A and B are shown apart, each in its own frame.
Chain A
């Protein structure tokens, strides 16, 4: 079974702190994603990566950065946490593109509920 793990289920940080959210997948997937989920807004893509050391901005990258030094690990960084970054953060992975890649589902981690006070 594909497994995507996230470093914390719950996290409380103070305004201005640097925050690291870690995500690891064990299925050798090329693609990895970070979303934030807010009530009424669904899931919004922050950043994604389709290869090691590659990253692309999603729809809401402001205030965030990412790092992918190894294929299995994708980190989300909040350089200076703010209260409007209080949210549920979901990491996902999927196989690479090509072939029937339209049908490749994304596999999600359990999520990290971050509260910034």
Chain B
């Protein structure tokens, strides 16, 4: 079964508007971590934000915030005030504590975001 699901293959947003990228996950572990990465057309994966399963506050990093809803098993990325440079592929990923040897991440399929001027 898919452990990380990103249901939006592609999205468009107008410059300066906010956008939410969806991510749902499936785990029976109580301790896990959730990550978002950005991949521009250059190909390099850029770490954006992290949320721990026991963190009570939603994570924020500049214009990025993570809308963590534990009961619904969702970890949506919110980008505020979109910029043209935000156009990229975005990946959600999870690390489970019980499977933590080596620090493996499980990735979703990705969402391609296009920011319109």
B117 interfacial contact with A, CB 8 Å: no
Interface of B is mostly: loop
Cβ–Cβ < 8 Å partners of A106 in chain B: 45, 47, 103, 105
> How many residues of A are counted as interface, with CB atoms below 8 angstroms from the partner's CB atoms?
34
Known: A45-B104, A110-B42. A102 touches B31 (CB 8 A): yes
Known: A102-B31, A105-B47. A97 touches B110 (CB 8 A): no
Q: Contact residue range for chain B?
A: 20 to 34
Cα A97 to Cα B100 in complex, Å, equals 7
User: A31 to B103, Cβ gap below 8 A?
Assistant: yes
A75 interfacial contact with B, CB 8 Å: no
Which residues of chain A (86-111) have a CB below 8 Å from chain B? 88, 90, 92, 94-97, 101-111
Interfacial residues, chain B to chain A (CB-CB below 8 A): 4, 6, 9, 31-33, 35, 37, 42-45, 47, 50, 52-53, 91, 93, 95, 97, 100-110
